[in-house]
Structure 1
Amino acid sequence: MHRPLSTRLCGPRKSHVLRLGILLHINWLAVVACAAQGFVWLAALLSILTTLLALRMDPGCSLRMGAVALFVGIAGDGAVVALGGLEFTTGVQFLPVPFWMGGLWLAFGTTLPVFASFFTRRMWIAPLLGVLGGVGAYTSASSFGAVDIGSAGRVTMVATVGLMWGLVFPLLVHLSKGTSR
Structure 2
Amino acid sequence: MVCQACGTAVENGGRFCPHCGAQIFSQPAPPPMGYAPYPAYPPVVAVPRVQRHLQSVGILWCAFGAFRVLSALLGFFVFRAVTWRHFGGDWPFGWGGMHGPSWMALLPVFVTMTVVMAGLAVFAGYSLLNRKPWGRMLTIVLAVLALFKFPVGTALGIYTLWVLAPMNSAAEYDAIADRS
Q: TM-score, normalised to structure 2's length?
A: 0.28
Question: Counting strand residues as a fraction of each chain, which structure ranks higher?
Answer: 1
Larger Rg: 2
Q: Quick one: higher RCO (CA 8 Å, sep 6+), 1 or 2?
A: 1
Question: Counting helix residues as a fraction of each chain, which structure ranks higher?
Answer: 1
